[in-house]
Structures are given as structure tokens and as C-alpha cells.
């Protein structure tokens, strides 16, 4: 531990257990300039930036094992059980499908469908994660950030208790505290769910192949997992309670689900799980119910099937109670449990801040947490007044047919500007590379693009861009830059741009059919 001192003493707890206690001091005295609780995307970025600006910094990171016992190293959700393993598995699924497609391009591939060796995929994914865990530790060391693998809890407005795996408690004093503790999966309150179901915290380290899998929940996490499991060759079903991708543009969400069905995922709409039981052979017997009781099924809309794995992706939430927020009067939202913050990311208590997924009302995305963390440190230690701009944040859903978007959904645009002021430019298009393999034919017509615009004088101002197709994230990233132009992005700016041919991104600059014209938006050819 660099440039820190640990003074230790022993305490008898109420239970009579002896605990090693101590106080951790920074090099400059009895307080750190900054203590960050949570070593994920936001916390690490914030800590490193502050240290680079000369602050004395400590980071506490601790992973409470999942209900099924999964645990991981430094780096938080994104690195260990989020973006990174998800994207690698999505890519593995695309590669498998690419091998199949390659036959149409002249490659001699004997198998109808190449076989996945799950253990090899797992070791590749986990190997990469371990290298990232190590990289984060090295970066903290290089920047003289003190790292404690310990669970943080606020004792007072400037004191944190840090409990490590051995049960030892250290007290750490800080002038500023940043909460960057993220969220964890919620498990539905139905019989058998906690005992037998896994979450995304377990999926990426499953020792056995998941086999026939039921995914419960239609957030992006649920859809992405169901999508890549299908692509990897597992028999996969999905339960959707109400609408898919709540909060996203619903035209796009419907097309994504239609495409997933054509791609092979069995989708049960308007369905909720009722119970999960383990059979003698280890498989899981699941009963679910149609929310419309008049549907068919066993009786009054009740259905049943047996699965090897049940993955619940039914939302995420923070563990605010464990942080001791009540003791220091940091306010949280009653419903979400997330920490209430102002535009400077400050909580209801001065000098205590919250960034990333644990903060109320913030988009739950890694680059958002990272940028917020860096900007906060620059305000605290670099004389900056620059706040995070939470508008026009692009994102991508990595379903088999990817969906990238930036700006407003149609629903939000109508809500904000009124339907009479909205114009939409749209097109169904066929990605050239997918028109060749016959296996892709039934999915071709799902590729769709739209720009949502506000009518302004002679031009339309773009307030949302939505792209369904290959490499959607790569396509949308550039358009997101354009959306941030001062004064906004006129539609004429997009349509006057020359396309790059032949690409899928050029279909955005070729948009010309408006929804109000009522014309068929199917475009073909060059």
C-alpha cells in the first residue's frame, strides 16, 4: 500500500468476537481528499482522474457474491458481468452464424451448424476479464490510489468503515466521498426463483453449458442474453410480461422481438413466471401464466415446460441500505432506492456525491458513469465547473439484429413537442451482405431506420436517430457527434451528406420518405 499508514487495534464485538480494527491515513494527514466506494466503471474513472490531479485517493471495492455464489474481481459490472462478457458472447454468436453464411460465399463448411464448445468460450471470456481485473489494479497502483478490497459503509459524513473478507474493519476518513456502488439484479418473488434461477451475475461464469434456457424479462439485458444464447445454438425461450424494452422507441422494440422470433428464440408474450421447481434429474420445471387469463394453455392461461437453466433479468437495483445512507441523511428515491443527486452529482449531504447506476435518474451505461466520474473529479480538484450533459446519450442493444439509437424515442418526442409537430423519415432496407445467404431471407425485412424530427420552418430538426441493423453501435456513434452540434442537427444536414457505398450506414443519409407522406418505406437497390 503506497503512502498510507494503517494503525491497528482490536475490538470485542457484542458477540464476543475479536475484530481487528484500524484507521487508514493518507500521506498528507488523517484524511484522504477523496474516498470512492465502488470500483466499477464510474468509481475507478473518478479515482484515477482525481489522483492525476494530485489528490490523495482511496477506492473501496467489494463484491457480495450472487445468490448462486458467483463472485468476481475489480472493475465492477461492465468488466465482469456486463458489457464485456456480453459483447464477447454476442460476437461469438455472430461468428457462428457467419460460419453458416460463409457457405453461400464459397467456403466449404461441412456442418449445417458449427458446434460451440462452451468451456472454451467461457475460458476465453474469463481469461479476458482476468486481464482487465489485473489492469485495473495496476492502474490504481501506478496512480498511487489506495485500493481496499472491502465493503464500505458510511459512519458519519466524513468517515467510512471498510469491512474486508476476513472480517477486519478499517476506518477511513475523507474530505469528499463518492458513492459509485452500481446496481445488482433483482430476483422475482416467486417460489423457487431465488433457489434455482440464475441472473446475468452468474451466466458468464456458468461451468456447464446453459442448455435449454428460459429467460424472464424484456429489458435490454433479457433480450441480449436470449439473443446470444439462441445464436450460440441453445434452445432459448423468453417471457415478456408487458412491452419489450420499456423506455426505448416501441417501433424498434417490436421489430427487435419479431426478428428474435425469426432468428429462433421462442417468445411468450404477456407472460409471467409463477413457480420454478427442481426435478430429480436436476432440470427445472417452470410454470408461467398468461396475463390474459383467457389464453389457451393448461388451464386458464397457465403454461408449463422443463428447462436446464432459468435466467431472470427482471430489473436491477442498488443496495442503498448496506451503505448506511440513513445514518448520514443521504436521501434516496423511495421507489428505486437510488441516491438523489443534483446536476453536480452531489447528494443531499455536502461533500458526498453519487455517480453511475446508483444515482437516481441517470442512464445506466458505462460511458456515462465514466464521464460523470471524470468530470466530478475535475470539478473537485481541477477548478472545473463543467457538469455532465445527460442529453443525447447514444446506446446500442446488442440483440442478434443490433439496435443503436441517440436522442428521443417517438413516444418521448410526441410527449415533449406534440404529435402535430413531429415528422419521421424512415426506411426498411436490406443489408447487402445478408441478401446472399438464403438462411437470412426471412430476417431481411426487419432492418429499419428512422429519424424523429421536430418541424421547424423550412427544415426539420432531428431529435432522435434509430438504426436496426449490423454494427448498429458503430453506425450510431458518429451520428451522436452530429446530434451534439450547437443549435442541433437539421435533417437537411443528414440528407445533404454523401453516403459511403455500399454500407448500411449510408441508408441513414439516403432517408427521404416521410411518415406523413404515407408512402411505403421499403427501399431497394443503390
Contact between 223 and ligand FAD by CB under 6 A: the answer reads no
Contact between 221 and ligand NA7 by CB under 6 A: the answer reads yes
Could you say which of ligand FAD, ligand NA7, none residue 219 binds, taking C-beta under 5 to 8 angstroms by partner kind?
A: ligand NA7
State the Cα–Cα distance between residues 468 and 178, nearest whole angstrom.
Answer: 37
Contact between 287 and ligand NA7 by CB under 6 A: the answer reads no
Active site residue 501: yes
Could you say which of ligand FAD, ligand NA7, none residue 242 binds, taking C-beta under 5 to 8 angstroms by partner kind?
A: ligand NA7
Do residues 267 and 216 touch, judged by C-beta distance below 8 A?
no
φ and ψ of 87, to 5 deg: -65, -35
What is the smallest separation between the CB atom of 295 and ligand NA7, expressed in angstroms? 16
Paired strand residues for 34: 57, 176
Q: Where would I find the H helices in 76-150? A: 76-81, 83-102, 118-142
Q: How many angstroms separate the Cα of 503 from the Cα of each of 11, 87, 91, 123, 469?
A: 67, 22, 20, 34, 11
Closer to ligand NA7 by Cβ: residue 54 or 363:
363
Closest CA to 268 of 313, 309, 236, 316: 236
Closer to ligand FAD by Cβ: residue 200 or 451:
200
Stretch binding ligand FAD (CB under 6 A), from 78-86, 106-114, 120-128, 382-390: 78-86
Closest CA to 457 of 482, 487, 478, 483: 487
Could you say which of ligand NA7, ligand FAD, none residue 469 binds, taking C-beta under 5 to 8 angstroms by partner kind?
A: none
Do residues 217 and 271 touch, judged by C-beta distance below 8 A?
no
For residue 253, the SS3 value is: helix
Could you say which of ligand NA7, ligand FAD, none residue 40 binds, taking C-beta under 5 to 8 angstroms by partner kind?
A: ligand FAD
State the Cα–Cα distance between residues 53 and 59, nearest whole angstrom.
Answer: 16
What is the smallest separation between the CB atom of 77 and ligand FAD, expressed in angstroms? 3
Could you say which of ligand NA7, ligand FAD, none residue 246 binds, taking C-beta under 5 to 8 angstroms by partner kind?
A: ligand NA7
State the Cα–Cα distance between residues 510 and 252, nearest whole angstrom.
Answer: 19
Tell me the CA end-to-end span of the chain in Å, nearest whole number.
62
Residue with C-alpha cell 468517515? 159
- Considering only residues 289-328, where is the footprint of ligand NA7 by CB under 6 A? 313-316
Residue with C-alpha cell 417490436? 254
Q: Which of 136, 158, 447, 501 is catalytic?
A: 501
Work out which of 33, 97, 357, 446 binds ligand FAD, going by CB under 6 A.
357
Q: How many CB atoms lie within 10 A of CB 67?
A: 17
Closer to ligand NA7 by Cβ: residue 58 or 216:
216
Residue with C-alpha cell 481485473? 133
Could you say which of ligand NA7, ligand FAD, none residue 152 binds, taking C-beta under 5 to 8 angstroms by partner kind?
A: ligand FAD
x-or-dash pattern for ligand FAD, window 295-314, by CB under 6 A? Answer: --------------------
Binding residues for ligand FAD (CB under 6 A): 37-43, 60-63, 76-78, 82-83, 86, 151-152, 180-182, 200, 221, 322-323, 356-358, 364-367, 369
Q: Which residues are catalytic?
A: 501
Give contact residues for ligand NA7 (rule: CB under 6 A). Answer: 188, 216-221, 241-243, 246-247, 272-273, 313-316, 363-364
Amino acid at each position: 500500500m503506497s503512502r498510507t499508514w494503517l494503525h491497528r487495534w482490536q475490538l470485542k464485538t457484542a458477540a464476543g468476537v475479536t475484530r481487528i480494527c484500524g484507521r487508514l491515513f493518507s500521506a498528507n494527514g488523517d484524511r484522504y481528499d477523496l474516498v470512492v466506494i465502488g470500483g466499477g466503471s464510474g468509481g475507478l474513472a473518478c479515482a484515477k482522474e482525481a489522483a492525476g490531479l494530485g489528490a490523495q485517493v482511496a477506492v473501496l471495492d467489494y463484491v457480495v457474491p450472487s445468490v448462486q455464489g458467483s463472485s468476481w474481481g475489480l472493475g465492477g459490472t461492465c468488466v465482469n458481468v456486463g458489457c464485456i462478457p456480453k459483447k464477447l458472447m454476442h460476437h461469438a454468436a455472430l461468428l457462428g452464424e457467419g460460419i453458416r453464411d460463409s457457405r453461400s460465399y464459397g467456403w466449404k463448411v461441412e456442418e449445417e451448424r458449427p458446434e460451440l464448445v462452451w468451456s472454451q468460450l467461457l475460458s476465453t471470456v474469463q481469461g479476458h476479464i482476468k486481464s482487465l481485473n489485473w489492469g485495473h489494479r495496476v492502474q490504481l497502483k501506478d496512480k498511487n490510489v489506495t485500493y481496499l478490497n472491502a465493503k464500505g459503509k458510511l459512519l458519519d459524513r466524513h468517515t467510512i468503515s471498510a469491512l474486508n473478507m476476513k472480517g477486519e474493519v478499517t476506518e477511513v476518513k475523507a474530505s469528499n466521498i463518492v458513492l459509485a456502488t452500481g446496481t445488482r439484479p433483482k430476483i422475482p418473488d416467486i417460489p423457487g426463483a431465488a433457489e434455482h434461477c440464475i441472473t446475468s451475475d452468474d451466466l458468464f461464469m456458468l461451468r456447464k453449458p446453459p442448455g435449454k434456457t428460459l429467460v424472464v424479462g424484456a429489458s435490454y439485458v433479457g433480450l441480449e442474453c436470449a439473443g446470444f444464447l439462441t445464436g450460440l445454438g441453445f434452445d432459448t425461450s423468453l417471457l415478456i410480461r408487458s412491452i419489450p424494452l420499456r423506455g426505448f422507441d416501441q417501433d424498434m422494440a417490436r421489430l427487435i422481438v419479431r426478428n428474435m422470433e425469426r432468428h429462433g428464440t421462442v417468445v411468450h408474450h404477456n407472460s409471467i413466471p409463477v413457480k420454478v421447481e427442481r426435478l430429480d434429474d436436476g432440470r427445472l420445471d417452470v410454470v408461467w401464466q398468461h396475463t390474459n387469463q383467457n389464453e389457451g394453455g393448461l388451464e386458464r392461461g397457465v403454461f408449463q415446460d422443463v428447462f436446464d437453466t432459468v435466467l431472470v433479468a427482471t430489473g436491477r437495483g442498488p443496495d442503498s441500505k448496506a451503505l448506511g445512507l440513513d445514518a448520514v441523511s443521504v436521501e434516496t428515491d423511495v421507489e428505486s432506492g437510488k441516491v438523489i443527486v443534483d446536476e453536480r452529482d452531489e447528494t443531499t449531504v455536502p461533500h458526498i456525491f453519487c455517480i453511475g447506476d446508483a444515482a437516481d435518474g441517470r442512464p445506466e451505461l458505462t460511458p456515462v458513469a465514466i464521464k460523470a466520474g471524470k468530470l466530478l473529479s475535475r470539478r473537485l480538484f481541477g477548478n472545473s465547473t463543467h457538469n455532465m450533459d445527460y442529453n443525447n446519450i447514444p446506446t446500442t442493444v446488442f440483440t442478434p439484429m443490433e439496435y443503436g439509437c441517440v436522442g428521443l424515442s417517438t413516444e418521448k418526442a410526441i410527449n415533449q413537442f406534440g404529435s402535430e409537430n413531429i415528422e419521421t423519415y424512415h426506411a426498411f432496407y436490406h443489408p447487402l451482405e445478408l441478401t446472399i445467404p438464403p438462411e437470412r431471407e426471412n430476417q431481411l425485412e426487419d432492418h429499419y431506420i428512422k429519424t424523429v424530427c421536430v418541424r421547424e420552418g423550412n427544415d426539420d430538426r432531428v431529435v432522435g436517430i434509430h438504426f436496426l441493423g449490423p454494427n448498429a453501435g458503430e453506425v450510431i456513434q458518429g451520428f451522436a457527434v452530429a446530434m451534439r452540434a450547437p443549435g442541433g442537427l437539421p435533417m437537411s444536414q443528414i440528407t445533404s451528406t454523401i453516403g459511403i457505398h455500399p454500407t448500411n450506414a449510408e441508408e441513414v443519409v439516403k432517408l427521404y420518405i416521410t411518415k406523413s407522406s404515407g408512402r411505403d418505406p421499403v427501399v431497394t437497390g443503390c
